[in-house]
Amino acid sequence: MNLKHPYLKRVYESVAARDKAEPEFLQAVEEVLTSIEPVIDLHPELEQHGIIERLCEPERLIVFQVPWTDDAGKVHVNRGFRVQFNSALGPYKGGCRFHPTVTASVIKFLGFEQCFKNALTGLPLGGGKGGSDFDPKGKSEQEIKRFCQSFMTELTRHLGQFTDVPAGDIGVGRREIGYMFGQYKRITNEFVGVFTGKAPENSGSLGRKEATGYGLVYIVEEMFRTLKREGIAGKTATVSGSGNVAIYAIEKATELGATVVTASDSGGYVHDPAGINLDVLKQIKEVERGRVSEYAARVPGATYHAGGNVWEVACDIALPCATQNEIDEASAKALVANGVVAVAEGSNMSTTPGGIEAFLAGGVLYVPGKAANAGGVAVSGLEMTQNSLRLSWTAAEVDEKLQGIMKNIFHTINGAAEQCKAPGNFVVGANVAGLLNVAQAMIWQG
């Protein structure tokens, strides 16, 4: 632990004693508390009102069983979660993740990060997160539907358009959201915007599917134009993952003139020096639900590296879009040695503390996920607005608003870093800016 400020040190020690079996959550808390040390003495009201203690403890953690029946008639039981972390700025907002690695620790770290991320968007959104240790891989359409309906049978009572509005995440796309929204509607007899990420034909927002990946690239483009006086055109980029965030980050980066040379999944990564052929990747991942290894078999010049480390590929820009802690210290040092200029996180907490230190020591422009991947929740907020007003904006209108939000986020975190006398340290900038937004609302509300 690197904390020096006595107040923050006491808070962390208390959290660590209470939640000692939750490593992901403790990692997220330590990263935030370490980075906000420069402003604690400037804002004595934070300690006076116990803001940090309250921010490190969720307002509510809901844990429940999810029984479901497979196609053979066998009953299975998974564990469901919803953390309603902080509602100072608005209703709880955050996705649902279906993956076997989901635990209370993972959900709490995601919800904690979401509080700061949502605050940076400037939209009236609190922080929350949810999910289950259910693994949708290998399940039939009917099994997934039955699981989603069972999940929502319990969770419905804790949701509402002015209370808690979930969305998608790993393992939860439009299909799963559709099943869950349908069950919510059947139980409550209401058609309200209580889920975002819905299909456009089902009252969803145009541009939501692309928003996290597009937003990730928009903030990198704005950073380059502000600090480097150039865009990302002509740059080489590596991307991890091959899901929704990765695909649309590749799409927008390519559109802006960068060459994206990698994509990956849990089995390994594919390297295409000519630039990822998005039509082929979308066919494999979105239509066939296949593996990236199939890409190399279809595209001449591409190679597949089973179990390889995508961060060993030389690049100017690295965009981790897979999962938490995917860049460790060794991978970060490999990126720095290969001349990486910027790293922006499409996944949440993509980089370990040692990796972050390596990036900052190497002069890399590093943007943490709470700022870099806020495009998804930003357009979710826009979807909530459209649902409430019973209207639909065009894809161009949504994209224009998204670009504006991501540009504002960059200038907010850049300005906060400079005010903290840590220019270029966007970890400090993002955490301080998000913290002060939430803290002001908490103090004002008593």
419 to 187, 359, 363, 395: CA distances (angstroms) = 50, 21, 19, 36
| Helix or strand run (H / E) with residue 83 | strand 75-86
Is residue 251 domain-shared with residue 339, that is, in the same domain? yes
- Which pLDDT belongs to residue 228? 95
Is residue 344 domain-shared with residue 239, that is, in the same domain? yes
pLDDT at 77 over 70: yes
For 192-246, the pLDDT digits (tens) are 999 999 999 989 999 999 999 999 999 999 999 999 999 999 999 999 999 999 9
Is residue 118 domain-shared with residue 99, that is, in the same domain? yes
At 145, the pLDDT band (50, 70, 90 cuts) reads very high
- Sign of the four-CA dihedral 417, 423, 426, 427: negative
Total domains present in the chain: 3
Is residue 45 domain-shared with residue 91, that is, in the same domain? no
Is residue 252 domain-shared with residue 301, that is, in the same domain? yes
Please work out, in degrees rounded to the nearest 5, the angle formed at the alpha carbon of residue 373 by the alpha carbons of 371 and 376.
120
Average pLDDT over residues 124-134: 98
Is residue 258 domain-shared with residue 354, that is, in the same domain? yes
Phi-psi region of 235 (alpha: psi -120 to 50; beta: other; left: phi over 0): beta
pTM more than 0.85: yes
What percent of the chain shows pLDDT beyond 70?
Answer: 100
Structure tokens at 318: 């690295």
For 58-67, the pLDDT digits (tens) are 999 999 999 9
Is residue 69 domain-shared with residue 119, that is, in the same domain? yes
Is residue 219 domain-shared with residue 312, that is, in the same domain? yes
CATH for 255? 3.40.50.720
Is residue 219 domain-shared with residue 300, that is, in the same domain? yes
Average pLDDT over residues 259-267: 96
Backbone angles phi, psi at 351, to 5 degrees: -115, 135
At 149, the pLDDT band (50, 70, 90 cuts) reads very high
What is the per-residue burial (b if ≥16 Cβ within 10 Å, else e) of 201-213?
eebbbbbbbbbbb
Is residue 101 domain-shared with residue 226, that is, in the same domain? no
Is residue 42 domain-shared with residue 166, that is, in the same domain? no
Which domain range does residue 38 map to? 6-55
Structure tokens at 378: 């930003």
Q: What is the mean pLDDT of the chain?
A: 96
Beta bridge partners of 92: 126, 164
- Sign of the four-CA dihedral 191, 197, 201, 205: positive
DSSP-derived letter for residue 351 is: B
The three-state secondary structure class of 421 is: coil
Q: Which of 133, 103, 168, 51 is nearest to 446 (CA)?
A: 51
Does residue 340 sit within a domain? yes
CATH for 119? 3.40.50.10860
CB–CB of 63/77 below 8 Å? no
- Tell me which of 93, 108, 129, 252 is the catalytic residue: 129
Does residue 206 sit within a domain? no
At 1, the pLDDT band (50, 70, 90 cuts) reads low
- Sign of the four-CA dihedral 27, 32, 33, 34: positive
Does residue 444 sit within a domain? no
What's at 277, amino acid-wise?
N
- Which pLDDT belongs to residue 123? 94
- Which pLDDT belongs to residue 4? 87
Does residue 437 sit within a domain? no
**Is 129 among the catalytic positions?**
yes
Q: Which of 337, 345, 357 is nearest to 430 (CA)?
A: 345
Average pLDDT over residues 147-175: 96
Is residue 355 domain-shared with residue 272, that is, in the same domain? yes
CB–CB of 122/405 below 8 Å? yes
Does residue 201 sit within a domain? no
CB–CB of 117/371 below 8 Å? yes
- Which pLDDT belongs to residue 342? 98
For 298-329, the pLDDT digits (tens) are 999 999 999 999 999 999 999 999 988 999 99
Rounded CA-CA distance 82/130 in Å is 4
DSSP-derived letter for residue 91 is: S
pLDDT at 382 over 70: yes
407 to 130, 256, 283, 394: CA distances (angstroms) = 28, 16, 31, 20
- Which pLDDT belongs to residue 283? 96
For 272-298, the pLDDT digits (tens) are 999 999 999 999 998 998 999 999 999
CB–CB of 195/169 below 8 Å? no
DSSP per-residue codes, 5-43: SHHHHHHHHHHHHHSTT-HHHHHHHHHHHHHTHHHHTT-
Does residue 15 sit within a domain? yes
